[in-house]
Amino acid sequence: MTFTKASYLIVGTLCTIGGAGVLYFSWKSKIQLKESFNVLGWSLLVAALFSWTGLNGWEFGTLYAITLPSLAALLYVSYNAELNGSSVAAPSFKPIKKPTGRQALSFIGKLLLILPFALTASIFVSYGVSILAVQSELNQLVMAICILPIIWGFFAYWLLADTRLVRPVASQIGLASLFVVQVLQV
Amino acid sequence: MGLPPSLVKQSLSSHSWIGLLVSVAMYIVCLTGTLCVFYPEFQRWEFANAPESLAYDRSSLQTALNNAIADEEMVTSHMYVYLPTEDRPILTMANERQDYLVTPDGTLGEPVESKWTDFLIDMHLYLTIPGTFGLILVSTLGAMLCALIISGLLAHPRIFKDAFKLRLGPGSRLEQVDIHNRLSVWGTPFYLLIAVTGAYFGLVLPLLGVVSVLTGKDPAQIRAGVFGEEPQVYSESQIDLETAFDNLQEIAPEAKPFRLIVHDAGTPQQFFEIMASHPRRVIYSENYRFDPEGNYLGKVGFSDGEVGRQIVYSMYYLHFGHFAGYVGKVIYFLLGLALTVVSVTGINIWLRKRSKRDLFNPLWAGIVWGVPLSLMIAMITSLILNFVSVPLFWASLVALLTYCVRVRDEIVGRRHLQRVSIVVGLLVVFIHLVKFGSGSLNPAAIMINACLLLYVGILALTVWQPWQAKSLVGQTSQA
């Protein structure tokens, strides 16, 4: 039993550090088989998931497989660090310019769009999506709460990034209305 | 195939806007969240002279609980028993106001207080803003973190080309960009997990409101659907813990009890729940319910009920990393620290991009170095005066910011705050050693004091390294 646990631990560690290492090697070198090494690196990281699952069950295993490759990759990032001695002169200190009325209004407008507006739209959309996706009321609620921050984040990003504000605003109002109608019908 | 340059440009602009909007709150929440990973250790550090042991006598505990419930001044609607665990090897009992040690003879001992840790948790969950508004505000940061992740990935066309690049150089913008991008990209799965689980705690409230309006159901009824309805009990008996523990051993031998909650304590409707962790499970607990005589009434179903219920009860461990002892804690601490550095370097990049310096430069340096310093000042008031004040924390931070603004040179301001942090950090360890004496030798206290000394050591190295600029003459600025 202990032997099996130890072997899972060793294989998991080797796959995680090795997988990130192979990705680093593939990134660093100008070899022809770059693609193959990339596949090998990611495969080792996936293999680590099975080892962690064997060691501590699939719930802990998945969490280890999500978090540990990040730390392993950052080890190689620090190993690859270059020291650059050059520095740039600091610009001079100036007083802060008072924002104009137009700038203040634009700021408040954006704030209202990405916070209350996008939140309301994303609540309707996430609940509507979850009603379409799952049957049980409990699971619908939990799925909605899990996807809500992602949908809200995406809506906020879209509102700020689109060059024509009307597109995200109209789309989000349209989507939210559609889902409200759908929820009311259910 | 690369991303269209216009998309990259718009994504970058959106990334900067959101980043600036949430910068200060995000930094404070990330820093306090990183520290909260070790909150049981901080609690043990704060009551370092409490006797630690994993063993306890059930019959003494039962006596203590029944005496507390019979005491009209002590009893509140909910009574809690915190069983000793490896994280917190102390047996305590609490009403809704105060936590007390339970002595081996079944009497209540000294009050157990961890005011600084409570303050740290309050800062992380509510930013010290009272009521649900603080909780919703902090959860909003989770959604904004999702927006930052999406915009950051779309604003980063060289994501694979630069995957391992790190160009360091004191005062260089490239250094800040590389640190920010590398930590961001590699940590993305963890940050997304933290964002979604963090948003859950506060966003569930507006969601419940909307669902209630749309479906016409009472929010309490919806909540009961998730967390289970309370059983109807009528009994005049006292709590029989021993029978309940024996029954639990038969029902779920793998369950490890760590907490006990008495509902409607002291009334004929009272019943109690034994919260128990399950090996290899991320769920916070399964709650086993018993009537006062110790008869098993059923469990809520967090361990084997509907998937949604299991997910809801996994949110806590998924967010705080307390699922696998020190392994989970260290992973979460390191990645939490990475997210904190990402939030700092993001603003550093914005500051460095501008062709000018203004009040924002020293203010940002003041926030980055002033918040940990103010937290350490709060540690001192907690140790000496047994008092942690929210206004005092903010007042000390404002004073530090004012100082940085007056200095007008962020490098000098930062350096001065670092020097004061070194002194305050050493003072905290010294006061702890004097206050608790041999109590400072409990493993958690040793760990926290060692970490404080490590932080002080790193600061000392940073402050006194000869190659660092002493002021902004010939240097660029960053926090």
**Cβ <8 Å between B476 and A68:** no
Return the SS3 of A33. coil
Determine contact: B101 vs chain A, CB below 8 A: no
**Per-residue pLDDT reduced to its tens digit, B342-371:** 999 999 999 999 888 999 999 999 999 999
User: How far does B4 lie from chain A, in Å, by closest CA?
Assistant: 13
pLDDT at residue number A86: 63
- The mean pLDDT of B435-441, rounded to a whole number, is 92
- Distances from the Cα of B123 to the Cα of B131, B132, B202, B393, angstroms: 13, 13, 14, 10
pLDDT at residue number B332: 97
- Distances from the Cα of A127 to the Cα of A156, A176, B140, B212, B295, angstroms: 18, 10, 17, 12, 39
* Chain A residues within 8 A of B166 when measuring between CB atoms: 77-78, 80-82
Distance of CA B128 to the CA centre of its chain: 13
- Distances from the Cα of B3 to the Cα of A27, B184, B477, angstroms: 20, 19, 31
- The mean pLDDT of B154-181, rounded to a whole number, is 89
Q: Are the beta carbons of B32 and B127 closer than 8 angstroms?
A: no
User: Is the confidence at residue B475, as pLDDT, over 60?
Assistant: no
Task: State the count of interchain CB pairs (< 8 A) between A and B.
Answer: 240
Task: Report residue B258: phi and psi, to 5°.
Answer: -135, -10
- Under the banding of pLDDT at 50, 70 and 90, the label for residue B471 is low
User: Is the confidence at residue B479, as pLDDT, over 90?
Assistant: no
How many angstroms separate the CA atoms of B350 and B222, rounded? 44
- Distances from the Cα of B404 to the Cα of A110, A183, B82, B85, B397, angstroms: 30, 53, 44, 44, 11
Q: Max Cα separation, chain A?
A: 71
Query: Looking at A76-85, A124-133, B399-408, B451-460, which range is the least confident one?
Result: A76-85
Angle, alpha carbons A129-A134-A136 (nearest 5°): 125
Q: Among B283, B324, B317, which Cα is nearest to B303's?
A: B283
Q: Among A181, A20, A15, which Cα is nearest to B185's?
A: A20
pLDDT at residue number B52: 92
Facing B211 at nearest CB: one of A111, A120, A141: A141
- The mean pLDDT of B183-189, rounded to a whole number, is 96
Facing B18 at nearest CB: one of A66, A95, A160: A160
Determine contact: B20 vs chain A, CB below 8 A: no
How many angstroms separate the CA atoms of B275 and B290, rounded? 11
The residue ranges of DSSP E strands in chain A, in sequence order, are 82-83
* Chain A residues within 8 A of B312 when measuring between CB atoms: 142
* DSSP one-letter code for B237: P
Q: Among B114, B147, B142, which Cα is nearest to B40's?
A: B114
| B44 CB-near residues (< 8 Å, 6+ apart) | B50, B52, B88, B90, B442, B444, B445
Average pLDDT, chain B: 93
Query: Looking at A18-22, A26-30, B95-99, B475-479, which range is the least confident one?
Result: B475-479
User: How far does B377 lie from chain A, in Å, by closest CA?
Assistant: 31
Q: Are the beta carbons of B332 and B37 closer than 8 angstroms?
A: yes
Q: Which residue's structure tokens are 């009528």?
A: B234
Pick the more confident residue, B26 or B49.
B26
ipTM above 0.90, yes or no: yes
User: Is the confidence at residue B38, as pLDDT, over 90?
Assistant: yes
Pick the more confident residue, B210 or A44.
A44
* Mutation choice for B interface testing from A16, A93, A130, A165 by most B CBs within 10 A: A93
Facing A139 at nearest CB: one of B13, B173, B307: B307
B289: left (phi over 0), alpha (psi -120 to 50) or beta: beta
User: Is the confidence at residue B468, as pLDDT, over 70?
Assistant: no
Q: Which of B173-177, B363-367, B471-475 has the highest mean pLDDT?
A: B363-367
- The mean pLDDT of B95-102, rounded to a whole number, is 95
- Distances from the Cα of B343 to the Cα of A136, B30, B105, B238, angstroms: 39, 8, 51, 53
Nearest residue of chain B to residue A94 (CA atoms): B358
pLDDT at residue number A1: 56
- The mean pLDDT of B438-465, rounded to a whole number, is 93
How many angstroms separate the CA atoms of B106 and B234, rounded? 26
pLDDT at residue number A2: 63
pLDDT at residue number B32: 98
pLDDT at residue number A123: 96
Facing B358 at nearest CB: one of A24, A95, A180: A95
Facing B167 at nearest CB: one of A63, A82, A93: A82
- The mean pLDDT of B138-155, rounded to a whole number, is 97
Q: Would you list the domain boundaries of chain A?
A: 2-79, 101-185
**Cβ <8 Å between B149 and A73:** no
pLDDT at residue number B79: 97
Facing A57 at nearest CB: one of B7, B280, B477: B280
How many angstroms separate the CA atoms of B292 and B234, rounded? 9
Beta pairing class for A82-83 and B286-290 = unpaired
Determine contact: B470 vs chain A, CB below 8 A: no
Return the SS3 of B173. helix
User: Is the confidence at residue B237, as pLDDT, over 70?
Assistant: yes
pLDDT at residue number B257: 97
**Per-residue pLDDT reduced to its tens digit, B313-339:** 999 999 999 988 899 999 999 999 999
Q: Among B163, B252, B248, which Cα is nearest to A73's?
A: B163
* Chain B residues within 8 A of A85 when measuring between CB atoms: 169
* Chain B residues within 8 A of A137 when measuring between CB atoms: 225
Question: Using CA atoms in the order A118, A124, A130, A136, what is the torsion angle rounded to 10 degrees?
Answer: 140
Q: Which residue's structure tokens are 């949110």?
A: B315
pLDDT at residue number B21: 97
- The mean pLDDT of B121-127, rounded to a whole number, is 97
Query: Looking at A32-41, B116-125, B373-382, which range is the least confident one?
Result: A32-41
User: How far does A54 lie from chain B, in Å, by closest CA?
Assistant: 11
Q: Are the beta carbons of B417 and B373 closer than 8 angstroms?
A: yes
User: Is the confidence at residue B469, as pLDDT, over 70?
Assistant: no
pLDDT at residue number B470: 59
How many angstroms separate the CA atoms of B81 and B310, rounded? 24
User: How far does A40 lie from chain B, in Å, by closest CA?
Assistant: 16
User: How far does A92 lie from chain B, in Å, by closest CA?
Assistant: 6
**Cβ <8 Å between B150 and A154:** yes
pLDDT at residue number B282: 94
Low-confidence ranges of chain A (pLDDT < 70): 1-3, 85-88
User: How far does B357 lie from chain A, in Å, by closest CA?
Assistant: 5
User: Is the confidence at residue B122, as pLDDT, over 80?
Assistant: yes
Nearest residue of chain B to residue A155 (CA atoms): B147
Facing B182 at nearest CB: one of A71, A74, A115: A74
How many angstroms separate the CA atoms of B328 and A56, rounded? 12
